Amino acid sequence: MKKYQAGQIKSIALLGNSGSGKTTFAEAMLFNGGIIERRGSVEHKNTVSDYRPIEHENENSIFSSVLYTEYDDHKINILDTPGLDDFAGGVISSLHVADSSVLLINVQNGVEVGTEIHFRHAEKQSKPVIICINGLDHEKTNFDKSMEMLRDRFGGNVTLIQYPVNEGQDFDSIIDVIKMKMLRYPKGGGKYEEVDIPSEYADRAEELQSELIEKAAENDESLMEIFFENDTLTEEEMKSGIKIGLINRGIFPVLCSSAKNNIGVDRLAEFICNVAPAAADMPEWTTEDGNKVKCDADSPAALFVFKSSMEEHIGEINYFKVISGKITENLDVVNANNSTKERLSQLYVSTGKNRTKISELAAGDIGAVVKLKNTKTNHTLNSQGSQKFPQIKFPEPKYRTAIKPLSEGDEEKLGEALSRMHQEDPTILVEYSKELKQIIVHGQGEYHLNILKWHLDNIFKIETEFYAPKIPYRETITKAAQADYRHKKQSGGAGQFGEVHMIIEPYEEGSAPNPLMKINGKEYKLSIRDKEEYKLSWGGVLEYINCIVGGSIDARFMPAILKGIMEKMEEGPLTGSYARDIRVYVYDGKMHPVDSNEISFKLAGRNAFSIAFKAANPKILEPVYDVEIMVPSDRMGDVISDLQGRRGMVLGMNSEKGFEVVKAKVPLAEMNKYSTALSSLTGGRAMYTMKFAEYVQVPSDIQDSVIKAYTAQQEEE
């Protein structure tokens, strides 16, 4: 394979709704570049990028695929991304390393749900967007309608560069207003022939070229001066203005294609080579320390791993982008994330599951490496220094389920499989909850986790079951209470004896211990001798106060009492959930000169705490999440009504680019399968994020039902 320099390398992410033709488009690009000898199809399950069994079964992309093609003395890296929002991780990681994106539009449907979502992902990462209206050979095409939708959803920067002459089943010709030529394709597609624009299309072509020239000039002051002076721009000046506009997201050029018939694909590849920005044209990468790193082949080598994949017969493959310098075979590098040394013994460029061995890669390029010991997605490798690039920010989970193997002997295998799936798809999060005694899997939606289960069942051969996850409630108290407990046990030899008297009250940050307490009409005067405050790992505080005077309990038993209290804090008296925000005063007790020991005082402390807790008007707290939903205005009423039915509190609404943004707080207990419900309510057009906000007290009727359910479960066990 030829060695390419930074300016000859272009990296694009293929975006678009499921069914827009991304995989077919990538297939045509590889065919035109001579990388493959014949084009596969999704229907025949033989495309380069959708090569996994699950993708064949579902006939859509599940994972992003790394490909490349060669065209016009350039190398184009292609990142083919999934169209469904459940697999957004592949879109976000691909955009992170792409220099620009190509957003494919299915001309039959125009701007769809996935189109809007992918456009927003590109916007969030400030990536250039080239729009390609695809499928113009279909009998139900409507190019003008698609353009109308594009301008309505994405604004006035959507600018025509091409339009079809004869859309429909006979589609074979495109008017190109940069070249001011008609591009005519032979039967079967492939390479276009340039011919003069027929007279009946000339006026529209000239009008569109004038609009394009003006739009290109707007993006650069020097070009604007040339435009004012000459009232036009040359083709090269036009390309320069479009490139600047792409980088600044001031122009979204629109091209035409039929990927299925390989029409328009070569011209788009040509446009990428001549106009789309290379890595060196884009803003420099910034390290976590705020330093800028130039895309320069003469600088020290630095690369960023954006994707890891487990491949049959090979093992783990790490895909990376060369941020600076030059990567060569057997290069020794240091992982900036964990300070381990690695050797890049074998370098590859990938086309799906196929890999081509290479000796070097220049800055801006994308490659793959195998057999790294301690390197994963989001890691930075350097040949010199310790610069570290910020990690890809994957979306917060939206869907959770508990999972268990049907065979107890598969628990360890399940843990290993889930860990591997997380490495391949970082939006799958696995939580081993000691509190809930469940394995909780978090993902982007119900379909997302069903695909995970398919892998466990079919690839890892582990039969599993999904079931409703428990809610991580918290328990606390709302008033002060007193209790004492004597633990006494005699069994022949040395006995057990310990007696503890304590008072508990709610802990509030900033409040001071109270030396005078009145409980049930009785006053308690406390001598505060020592205070310890413990920040609990599950949130909240336990404040432990020693008020013992006169030696009624020896100081050596105080840690044992605390241990007993902490055990009950870890398994609250009401529902077995963690307890929090409690102040405990240990003010009296009794010892025995022979029978008192640590276990006696631990049990006495534990039981006294449990009795006091139940008398202190205990309450259950539930986790509440901040939920932000982007919803079409015509569906907002349904969404708000549904939120209210989920005990949600709507905090506010505002408009954003044709969508209404609804902000609300919703209990986690009410968010089960919300992604599926929201999709049903809005025809799949809404998207949402959720993030933990706080714990709040549950309503009394729900508290009663939660306690009853826990009690029934305990009796059953």
Report the predicted TM-score, pTM, of the whole model to 2 decimal places.
0.87
CATH top class, domain 620-702: alpha beta
The answer to whether the CB of 301 falls within 8 A of the CB of 331 is: yes
The answer to whether the CB of 324 falls within 8 A of the CB of 300 is: yes
Residue range 11-33: mean pLDDT, rounded: 95
The stretches of 48-185 forming alpha helices (DSSP H) are 53-58, 88-97, 113-124, 143-154
Give the CATH fold of the 399-470 domain. Answer: Alpha-Beta Plaits (3.30.70)
Which residues does 660 contact at the CB level (< 8 Å), separation at least 6? 630, 631, 632, 633, 636, 653, 654
Sign of CA dihedral 367, 19, 428, 664: positive
Residue range 210-229: mean pLDDT, rounded: 89
The answer to which of 477-486, 489-498, 610-619 has the lowest mean pLDDT is: 489-498
Cα Dmax for the chain: 113
pLDDT at 412: 92
Write out pLDDT tens, residues 365-400. Answer: 999 999 899 999 999 999 998 899 999 999 989 899
pLDDT at 657: 67
The whole-angstrom separation of Cα 308 and Cα 235 is: 42
Amino acid code (one letter) for 591: M
The stretches of 301-445 forming alpha helices (DSSP H) are 411-424
Residue range 266-270: mean pLDDT, rounded: 97
Q: Indicate the length of the chain as a whole number.
A: 717
Which pLDDT band holds residue 492 (cuts at 50, 70, 90)? low
Instruction: Note whether 399-470 and 620-702 share their fold.
Output: yes
Q: Is 312 a residue whose pLDDT tops 90?
A: no
The whole-angstrom separation of Cα 380 and Cα 365 is: 15
The answer to which of 179-183, 530-534, 577-581, 685-689 has the lowest mean pLDDT is: 685-689
Write out pLDDT tens, residues 422-476. Answer: 999 999 999 998 888 899 999 999 999 999 999 999 999 999 999 989 999 999 9
Residue range 315-339: mean pLDDT, rounded: 95
pLDDT at 21: 94
Q: Is 201 a residue whose pLDDT tops 90?
A: yes
The whole-angstrom separation of Cα 349 and Cα 359 is: 10
The stretches of 636-699 forming alpha helices (DSSP H) are 636-645, 674-682
The answer to whether the CB of 621 falls within 8 A of the CB of 579 is: no
Write out pLDDT tens, residues 681-717. Answer: 988 878 888 999 999 999 999 999 999 988 888 777 6
pLDDT at 220: 85
- Residues facing residue 145 across a β-bridge: none
The whole-angstrom separation of Cα 44 and Cα 52 is: 13
Which pLDDT band holds residue 262 (cuts at 50, 70, 90)? very high
* 3 state DSSP class of 88: helix
Write out pLDDT tens, residues 632-673. Answer: 888 899 999 999 999 999 999 998 766 789 999 999 999 988
The whole-angstrom separation of Cα 409 and Cα 402 is: 18
Q: Is 224 a residue whose pLDDT tops 80?
A: yes
Amino acid code (one letter) for 347: L
Listing from the earlier edge strand, what are the strands of the sheet with 541-546?
481-489, 496-506, 582-590, 541-546, 530-535
The whole-angstrom separation of Cα 465 and Cα 446 is: 14
Domain layout of the chain by residue ranges: 6-212+249-281, 285-382, 399-470, 475-617, 620-702
> What DSSP designation does 628 have?
E
Residue range 303-328: mean pLDDT, rounded: 92
Write out pLDDT tens, residues 109-150. Answer: 999 888 989 999 999 999 999 999 999 999 889 999 999 999
Which pLDDT band holds residue 157 (cuts at 50, 70, 90)? very high
Which pLDDT band holds residue 188 (cuts at 50, 70, 90)? confident
Which residues does 206 contact at the CB level (< 8 Å), separation at least 6? none
Q: What value does the CA radius of gyration of the chain take, rounded to a whole number of Å?
A: 32
Which residues does 31 contact at the CB level (< 8 Å), separation at least 6? 37, 38, 39, 262
pLDDT at 545: 96
Sign of CA dihedral 308, 309, 313, 315: positive
pLDDT at 326: 95
What is the CATH code for 285-382? Answer: 2.40.30.10
Write out pLDDT tens, residues 39-93. Answer: 999 888 999 999 888 998 888 899 999 999 999 999 999 999 999 989 999 999 9
The whole-angstrom separation of Cα 275 and Cα 237 is: 11
What is the CATH code for 475-617? Answer: 3.30.230.10
* 3 state DSSP class of 437: coil
Mean pLDDT for the chain overall: 93
Residue range 347-351: mean pLDDT, rounded: 94
Q: Does domain 6-212+249-281 have CATH number 3.90.400.10?
A: no
**What percent of the chain is predicted at pLDDT more than 70?**
99
